Structure 1
């Protein structure tokens, strides 16, 4: 009986491997691809762009004329270190922003020259998470990126680090890449770094092995994920890459996590790196950005009835259900919605300034419209501008 069980388990493993091989082959068919590359793959440990590394990456990307590629590139801050006489990444925000200002121009200039060898144009697109969680800005960002691709250009995407505050600690663009993949409705996300995949322990420790495929969160249980890269010029590590892969996979986008030297194999659908399979369905809204990229400017505390309406009935938040207001925010800002116990249950884009809401709380929109005018006969947060965090 034990032999029969072992044989059955072996057959199941072989079937799973064959199934995984078929699914990995589908990666090669991806037409619109977001590729993210980290600072350590483009620069020296002392800072400054490594032209040979940039050219090597472009050599791989530019040869795929049949694919639409969006490149999310870190490296602006790192590229600006040496020109400003800095021997390491500064800790203070002002000098980070100064380095980004100098380095972003150098980074895009290098990409422009490198892609020009293949007759390819590039376009710089600087994004902030706050902008892209807003409806109009989200549509504008999509239209810009889509048009660049339609015209044969390669969008070079980065965070707008020169003006970003919280965004500058985004996770070395890993999460940004996952959200851009969702924004442009990509078929595939490739995360490139200095490690050739996700390992079941420290890759430098004997006996650890690379995980070839992740089908869902259970495959990652019990795995210790490191937090630092080798080169010391970026902010990301394996933690941010796995989180980015989870975000993309949950949005219906498969992910390949591998090293930059294996970029050609990844684009060709080879067995390099770690393949994160889709775990959710693709959607075409910006709520993923609201959930994973926005920084709440304040909070609204809801009564039990409003909590039930938001969570169970997927309703908009009305003035009658608000118990209190926290923080200073303006109409159009993202805010947290909390229950009476302080737990964040949702995040949404608010329609009123913080100072306006206290006089609206506990009242019906009909009464408010009668007293204050028709502009007040509306939701505090519309359900189309609201994403649930816990349910």
Structure 2
């Protein structure tokens, strides 16, 4: 599959603060996607909004609810009805896919998923994808948020481009809502440098959405060669500009891995992800580049928190990302003793590490 673009649209672009649909935005998005299809390119649309829509519907019907699962179940029907009504005005055929992590990490399920996506391309059908919140919220099968889902799809399908549509213009030097001096960062070559500003040793796991989750998604996607944009979806011209790799929002420049990723390595990257990083000394960095495992004695610093089995970035002593890997122990366990005293403790196995180029 060539020239695949993943687009992720956030909840704030689906409904406004009153719960009303933002139909004009969705229409512009679908029109731009249709133009890409006419060029022979495939687009996968990851759409948030089901939970927000569901909560609005339940509130209007005076049905008390605190459950994300119930809101998602109610809202997904209304959300797809909206997409259907707009798509019909464009003579655009759409389909719904609800996925969970096993669809990307279990071989049989992924091959079936891959086959279905190929058939959609052959028939010029736009798949609209969402996490199956009803079944996998707060489980190991969940992605946590749709930013992570979109990056996982970019990895799994070797997408050329990932475009994240938000309600702000992109990544800023500070929070523009509280700092008037904040300026837009138009291009990022090392997303980890920006992410680390938000993630120190005391940082807990991030919630759904928000800029950190978008930066995590960009870090994953760019590290396997997918150009990533974070743009303002309320700007009617932004998406078309991003499709042409133009100057809009924040462009995160793609990095290329040392070798074409095999499915095993893709699994490492689409494993449950963390915003955390592990900094290592020169000896450990060289060992990793030579295909060795990461041991605790080679670690100099841990940024953020992570659980066993999550994917974490490895940094050299210049704080440059050199690899991703799935950790065998949690940050809590790793930090319980000095790194130098943990002789023989394996933090990542070589088979679960993906090395990156500079």
Give the TM-score normalised by the residue count of structure 1: 0.63
Equivalent residue for 1:118, pick from 84, 90, 102? 90
Unaligned runs of 5+ in 2: 200-206, 274-287, 294-307, 309-325, 330-341
Equivalent pair of 1:146/1:184 in contact (CA under 8 Å)? no
State the partner residue of 2:176. Answer: 203
Equivalent residue for 1:387, pick from 330, 352, 355? 352
Equivalent pair of 1:256/1:273 in contact (CA under 8 Å)? yes
- Structure 2: distance between partners of 1:85 and 1:133: 37
Whether 1:270 and 2:273 are equivalent positions in the alignment is: no
Provide the aligned length of Structure 1 versus Structure 2: 281
State the partner residue of 2:186. Answer: 212
State the partner residue of 1:54. Answer: 26
Unaligned runs of 5+ in 1: 1-29, 226-233, 296-309, 316-326, 328-334, 347-382
- Which digits, 9 at most, give the CA deviation of each residue in 1:32-69, with x for residues without a partner? 21111100111122435333332232233223321311
SS of the residue 2:98 aligns to: strand
Shift of 1:125: 1.3
Whether 1:345 and 2:325 are equivalent positions in the alignment is: no
Equivalent residue for 2:209, pick from 236, 242, 248? 236
Shift of 1:280: 2.8
Shift of 1:78: 0.9
State the partner residue of 1:14. Answer: none
Is the deviation greater in 155-164 or in 274-283? 274-283
Shift of 1:186: 1.3
Equivalent residue for 2:123, pick from 131, 148, 151? 151
Equivalent residue for 1:255, pick from 216, 224, 228? 228
SS of the residue 1:60 aligns to: helix
Equivalent residue for 1:288, pick from 266, 290, 297? 266
Whether 1:185 and 2:158 are equivalent positions in the alignment is: yes
- Structure 2: distance between partners of 1:102 and 1:186: 31
Q: Which is helix-richer, 1 or 2?
A: 1
State the partner residue of 1:68. Answer: 42
Shift of 1:115: 1.8
Describe the shift of the 1:292–1:181 C-alpha distance in structure 2 as closer, same or farther (beyond 3 A).
closer
Equivalent pair of 1:145/1:184 in contact (CA under 8 Å)? no
- Structure 2: distance between partners of 1:284 and 1:196: 35
Shift of 1:290: 4.2
Shift of 1:133: 1.4
Shift of 1:116: 2.1
Equivalent residue for 2:7, pick from 27, 32, 35? 35
Shift of 1:219: 4.8
Equivalent pair of 1:33/1:189 in contact (CA under 8 Å)? yes
Structure with greater Cα Rg: 1
SS of the residue 1:200 aligns to: coil
Describe the shift of the 1:286–1:153 C-alpha distance in structure 2 as closer, same or farther (beyond 3 A).
farther
Equivalent pair of 1:47/1:87 in contact (CA under 8 Å)? no
- Structure 2: distance between partners of 1:272 and 1:313: 38
